């Protein structure tokens, strides 16, 4: 009770101090930054602008004009101090930030000006490199903040410093006590998180949807050669049925989509047989699987495509020769006389294929994110590469064998050639969560473990996280992430798993096969409420 009173008094004191001071937050605008250098870095014009604008914001002290509004009102950044003064007056702000970045080879020299309400101009310079640009911009933003709000502590204690991990407080005497020297890292009984029972098989993927048109959500877990159907009941997964694929099939991915618009979603599985695509589509009603289409000669996936970003069924054939996928060969799947066929092509970067891309909407435009070689590559809508993550993402152990025999040289025996694989990345999901203006990309952040550094082809990742990434015109940054999951993440998605009308983050994992890699893997499904 005493603690509540103290908190209330603290709030009242802060509120009263603000009311007595009568000070309005200083309003500011950051201009697009002029880029002097190769055309490929032109995107930094808005990227640096956006980053500085967000970093200068301090609650109750500074208030920005959003960069989008600035760019609509201003045709070009000021070319002189006189033009800057005119812009400051026209925009009605207390200070104006503008400047330039000069890029030569790997070096980047920043020249930033601040014009205040007294028409005094201040200059800040930074000599940086492209690899060090973001940390140097953070440092520059701290100096700008200290200058603008006249706060010597702004540099030492910026808003974006990570908070010190809290320690336990001594509760009232009638509650259990934990030593204040212990640090809480996680709560296994935390609300908003659910864990299934352990299932006695290893999995490849997961999809959830209403396949009967009755509002009930069925959960489909993909194994190497089976599709298992479950339903949530009393906090457990009740097994309903299992579909057996032909014996030599290897399942690759699973999706659900209402392909014929009858209110019932179909189950769409990509599979391979003897290096040939052998996909299939199933129905599921009355707790039984029904084969709708078999031996489809191309792989399939479901992704949101522009301009409406609705779920779209797409497909791609395997290329002949040493290249697994031919560039520019991802197409929409259409149904002619009830049969699936490849239709119109989709404009994508050359490195994109049926399994590794997602569209990330940006205002009236979009970016394309491609998972390639365990990195995320970001492309503009005209297929220019703008960014590659330094961290690894979307790694999996599910590989397609690549035939690297040279045309005309005949076939070699397995013992005479070195087998190589294309590892299908885990799913990329774009979403706009409730209360958010911008779309985010959900991706699996894998951790290789000790064996990966010893054996180059060790492709079982014992730990992972799901990261929500946002684009700030400079790169992909983490908005939030799950805690470390001590298992191999095979697939994930946003689904209404419990049928309450709200989507959960659903993650399908395999248990670790042990240090020898020989232990049998088992499946566990995790679900996280997005609002808790």
pLDDT in tens, 350-364: 999 999 999 999 988
pTM of the shown model: 0.66
Question: In this predicted structure, what is the pLDDT of residue 189?
Answer: 52
Looking at the structure, tell me whether residues 250 and 340 fall in a common domain: yes
Q: List beta partners, residue 250.
A: 272
DSSP for 478-498, please give it.
EEEEPPPBSSEEEEEEEE-TT
Q: Quick check: is 330 in a domain?
A: yes
Residue 185 lies in a domain: no
Residue 22 predicted with pLDDT over 60: no
pLDDT band at 101 (very low <50, low <70, confident <90, very high): confident
Q: Which domain holds residue 131?
A: 26-147
Q: Which helix (H) or strand (E) holds 140?
A: helix 133-149
249-253, 282-286, 499-503, 507-511: least confidently modelled range = 499-503
Residues 320 and 449 in one domain: yes
Tokens of 434: 């409730």
Rounded Cα distance between 404 and 324, Å, is 9
Considering 122, 147, 172, which residue would you say is the last residue of a domain?
Answer: 147
Banded pLDDT at 450 (limits 50, 70, 90): very low
Q: Are 236 and 497 in contact (CB under 8 A)?
A: no
Quick one: average pLDDT of 43-60?
82
Residues 208, 113 share a domain: no
Predicted confidence at residue 449, as pLDDT, reads: 56
Lowest mean pLDDT: which of 67-76, 80-89, 289-298? Answer: 67-76
Q: Say if residue 345 is in the same domain as residue 201.
A: yes
Is the pLDDT higher at 315 or at 402?
Answer: 315
- What is the three-class DSSP state of 387? strand
Cβ partners under 8 Å of residue 382, min gap 6: none
Number of domains in the chain: 2
Residue 1: predicted pLDDT: 43
Q: What's the token pair of residue 134?
A: 């973001």
- Cα–Cα distance, 213 to 259 (Å, whole number): 13
The whole-chain average pLDDT of the chain stands at 82
pLDDT > 50? residue 202: yes
Task: Between 394 and 234, name the one with better pLDDT.
Answer: 394
Least confident of 145-149, 223-227, 232-236, 310-314: 145-149
Count of residues for the chain? Answer: 532
Q: What is the dihedral of CA 338, 344, 349, 355, to 10 degrees?
A: 0
- pLDDT reported for residue 105: 60
Residues 241, 125, single domain; the answer is no
Same domain flag for 98 and 246: no
Query: Is residue 478 scored above 50 in pLDDT?
Result: yes
Based on the fold, state whether residues 444 and 305 are members of the same structural domain: yes
Q: Which of 375, 397, 468 is nearest to 429 (CA)?
A: 468
What does the alpha-carbon distance between residue 8 and residue 490 come to, in Å, rounded to a whole number?
47
Whether residue 142 is predicted with pLDDT greater than 90 in this model: the reply is no
Q: If you average pLDDT over residues 110-136, what whole number do you get?
A: 85
pLDDT, average across residues 100-110: 77
3-state secondary structure of 46: helix
Q: Identify the pLDDT of residue 60.
A: 76
Residue 17 is assigned to a structural domain of this protein: no
Residue range 213-242: average pLDDT? 95
Higher pLDDT, 475 or 104: 475
For residue 220, the model assigns a pLDDT of 98
- 224 domain residue, yes or no: yes
Which of the pair, 359 or 515, is modelled with greater confidence? 359
pLDDT of residue 518: 52
pLDDT of residue 511: 85
The reply to whether 440 and 507 lie within a common domain is: yes
| Exposed e or buried b per residue across 157-172, where buried means at least 16 C-beta atoms within 10 angstroms of its C-beta | ebeeeeeeeeeeeeee
Q: How big is the chain by its Cα radius of gyration, in Å? A: 27
Comparing 35 with 393, which gets the higher pLDDT? 393
Q: What is the CATH number of the domain that holds 133?
A: 3.40.50.10070
Instruction: Note the helical H segments in 318-476.
Output: 450-454
**Average pLDDT over every residue of 189-209:** 87
Q: Could you give the 3-state DSSP secondary structure of residue 226?
A: strand
């Amino acid at each position: 009770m005493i603690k509540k009173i103290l908190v209330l008094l603290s709030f009242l004191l802060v509120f009263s101090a603000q009311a007595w001071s009568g000070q309005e937050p200083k309003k500011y605008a950051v201009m697009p930054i002029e880029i002097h250098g190769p055309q490929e870095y032109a995107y930094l014009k808005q990227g640096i602008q956006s980053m500085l604008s967000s970093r200068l914001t301090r609650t109750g002290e500074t208030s920005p004009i959003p960069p989008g509004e600035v760019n609509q009102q201003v045709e070009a950044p000021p070319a002189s101090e006189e033009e800057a003064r005119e812009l400051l007056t026209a925009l009605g702000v207390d200070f104006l930030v503008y400047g330039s970045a000069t890029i030569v080879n790997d070096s980047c020299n920043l020249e930033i000006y601040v014009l205040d309400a007294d028409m005094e101009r201040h200059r800040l310079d930074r000599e940086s490199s492209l690899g060090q640009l973001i940390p140097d911009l953070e440092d520059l933003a701290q100096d700008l903040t200290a200058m603008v709000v006249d706060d010597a502590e702004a540099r030492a204690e910026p808003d974006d410093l990570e908070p010190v991990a809290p320690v336990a407080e001594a509760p009232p005497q009638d509650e259990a006590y934990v030593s204040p020297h212990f640090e809480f890292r996680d709560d296994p009984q935390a609300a908003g998180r659910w864990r299934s029972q352990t299932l006695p098989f290893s999995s490849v993927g997961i999809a959830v949807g209403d396949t009967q048109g009755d509002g009930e959500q069925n959960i489909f877990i993909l194994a190497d050669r089976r599709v298992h159907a479950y339903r949530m009941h009393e906090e457990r997964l009740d097994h309903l049925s299992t579909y057996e694929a032909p014996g030599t099939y290897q399942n690759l991915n699973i999706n659900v989509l209402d392909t014929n618009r009858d209110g019932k979603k179909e189950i769409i599985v990509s599979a391979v047989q003897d290096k040939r695509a052998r996909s299939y589509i199933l129905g599921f009603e009355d707790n039984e699987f029904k084969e709708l289409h078999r031996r489809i000669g191309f792989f399939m996936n479901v992704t949101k495509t522009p301009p409406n970003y609705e779920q779209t069924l797409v497909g791609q054939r395997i290329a002949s020769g040493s290249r697994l996928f031919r560039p520019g060969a991802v197409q929409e799947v259409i149904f002619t006389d009830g049969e699936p066929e490849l239709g119109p092509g989709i404009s994508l970067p050359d490195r994109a294929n049926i399994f590794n891309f997602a569209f990330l909407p940006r205002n009236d435009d979009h970016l394309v994110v491609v998972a390639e070689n365990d990195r995320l590559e970001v492309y503009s809508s005209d297929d220019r590469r703008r960014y590659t993550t330094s961290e690894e993402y979307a790694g999996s152990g599910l590989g397609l064998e690549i035939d690297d025999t040279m045309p005309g040289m005949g076939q070699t025996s397995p013992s005479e050639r070195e087998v190589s694989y294309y590892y299908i990345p885990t799913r990329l999901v774009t979403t706009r969560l409730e209360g958010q203006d911008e779309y985010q990309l959900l991706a699996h952040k894998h951790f290789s473990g000790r064996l990966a550094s010893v054996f180059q082809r060790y492709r079982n990742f014992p730990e992972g996280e799901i990261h929500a990434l946002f684009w700030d015109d400079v790169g992909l940054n983490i908005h939030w992430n799950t805690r470390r999951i001590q298992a191999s993440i095979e697939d994930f998605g946003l689904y209404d798993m419990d049928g309450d009308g709200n989507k959960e983050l659903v993650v399908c994992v395999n248990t670790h096969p042990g240090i020898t890699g020989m232990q049998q893997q088992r499946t566990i499904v995790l679900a996280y409420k997005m609002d808790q």
